[in-house]
């Protein structure tokens, strides 16, 4: 029995090592360095979505408008970091603390309820790998993320991510999403609009931007609260993000329904 268990353990270790080696080799096939200067016009995720639509016999087209980093609202940039990868500027492509937390939560729930992917990993998946759910795809994503962090600046990685991230059926990138849902450019998003876009990244096909369900509203409150504590939102922006009405003007006299007092009598001459 012990011998069989030992052999099984060695077999599993051998298979695991082979998968790691295969994934590392596969990751080296992709030209990561070109992303420093080139704009990906068709990502692997776009091609996967196009193929799925063709199999279903429905029309499909890409809505994407590339814009530079500085043309994307700072509020949206900060909200996306808060929602998706709070430690983006501290890690080297993998957030080990987030991975451990995700593993604990998933083991507790006996299902995948929390991901641990960084923005760099998501970019690697979107640009090169598509939406396959396999062990080798995940391992290749890890090696690609590590390569990206060595080849590209953090700013470039985030700029690429914000321009290729999926925000609905055929909608890719911040500019296309801002125009599609709100009729404004990505530079002109309001606090409410910016936080709604950040909140639905978890599943833009399931959760509508314009009619957010309670889960998305809870995420908006979470993102807004963190940004407010860190000084990224002032009180007025925080209220706007939550969809609260603006406060009454400070010079307003009385409250609605108040009746005016009696007229003042003219002063008497002594």
The answer to whether the beta carbons of residues 30 and 128 sit under 8 Å apart is yes
- Reported as a single tens digit per residue, the pLDDT across 165-200 is 999 999 999 999 999 999 999 999 999 999 999 999
Tokens of 242: 């939550």
Domain extents for the chain?
68-241
Rounded to an integer, the average pLDDT of 246-252 is 69
Tokens of 249: 């003007």
Predicted confidence at residue 137, as pLDDT, reads: 86
Give the CATH H-level superfamily of domain 68-241: Biosynthetic peptidoglycan transglycosylase-like (1.10.3810.10)
Residues contacting 100, CB < 8 A, separation 6+: 116
Least confident of 9-13, 172-176, 254-258: 254-258
Rounded CA-CA distance 127/120 in Å is 11
Predicted confidence at residue 144, as pLDDT, reads: 94
Predicted confidence at residue 5, as pLDDT, reads: 62
- Reported as a single tens digit per residue, the pLDDT across 66-116 is 999 999 999 999 999 999 999 999 999 998 776 666 556 555 555 444 457
More confident residue, 41 or 47: 47
Rounded CA-CA distance 263/17 in Å is 90
pTM for this one? 0.83
């Amino acid at each position: 029995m012990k011998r069989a268990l030992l052999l099984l353990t060695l077999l599993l270790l051998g298979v695991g090592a082979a998968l790691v080696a295969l994934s590392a080799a596969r990751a080296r096939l992709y030209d990561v360095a070109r992303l420093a200067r080139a704009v990906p016009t068709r990502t692997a995720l776009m091609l996967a979505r196009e193929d799925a639509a063709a199999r279903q016999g429905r029309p499909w087209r890409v809505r994407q408008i590339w814009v530079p980093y500085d043309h994307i609202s700072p509020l949206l940039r900060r909200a996306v970091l808060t929602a998706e990868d709070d430690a983006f500027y501290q890690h080297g492509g993998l957030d080990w603390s987030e991975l451990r937390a995700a593993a604990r939560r998933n083991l507790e729930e006996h299902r995948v309820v929390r991901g641990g992917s960084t923005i760099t990993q998501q970019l690697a998946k979107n640009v090169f790998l598509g939406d396959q759910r396999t062990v080798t795809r995940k391992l290749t994503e890890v090696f690609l993320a590590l390569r990206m962090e060595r080849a590209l600046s953090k700013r470039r990685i985030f700029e690429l991510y914000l321009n290729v991230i999926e925000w609905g059926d055929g909608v890719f990138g911040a500019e296309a999403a801002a125009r599609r849902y709100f009729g404004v450019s990505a530079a002109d998003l309001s606090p409410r609009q910016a936080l709604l876009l950040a909140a639905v990244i978890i599943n833009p096909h399931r959760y509508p931007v314009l009619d957010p369900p309670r889960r998305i509203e809870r995420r908006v409150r979470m993102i807004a609260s963190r940004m407010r504590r860190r000084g990224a939102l002032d009180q007025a922006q925080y209220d706007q993000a939550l969809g609260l009405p603006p406060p009454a003007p400070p010079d307003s006299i009385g409250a609605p329904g108040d009746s005016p007092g009696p007229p003042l009598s003219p002063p008497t001459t002594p």
